Amino acid sequence: MSRAWAIFLARKECPMTDAPPFHVVFAIFDRITQLDFTGPAQFLCRMPGAKVHVAAATLDPVMTDAGFAIVPTISFDDCPQGDLLCVPGGLGVPAALAATPLIDFVRRQGAAAQWVTSVCTGAFILGRAGLLQGKRATTHWGYTGQLPLVGAIYEPARTVFDGNVITAGGVTSGIDFALSVIAHLHGEDVARSIQLNFEYDPAPPYAGGTPGTSPEPIVTMMRERFYDARAAEMEAALNATA
Which residue in 14, 79, 86, 120 is the catalytic one?
Answer: 120
Q: Does the global pTM surpass 0.95?
A: no
Task: Specify whether 86 is catalytic.
Answer: no
DSSP 86-103: EE---TTHHHHTT-HHHH
Number of domains in the chain: 1
Compute the average pLDDT of residues 201-229. 95
- The range of the structural domain enclosing residue 60 comes to 3-241
Task: Read off the pLDDT of residues 148-185 as tens digits, 9 standing for 90 and up.
Answer: 999 999 999 999 999 999 999 999 999 999 999 999 99
**The domain spanning residue 91 has which CATH number?**
3.40.50.880
Position 7 confidence tier, pLDDT thresholds 50, 70, 90: low
Q: How far apart are the two ends of the chain, measured CA to CA in Å?
A: 51
CA distance 89 to 122: 4
Helix (H, G, I), strand (E, B) or coil at 239: helix
Helices (H), the chain: 3-13, 34-44, 93-96, 100-112, 122-128, 173-186, 188-197, 216-222, 228-241
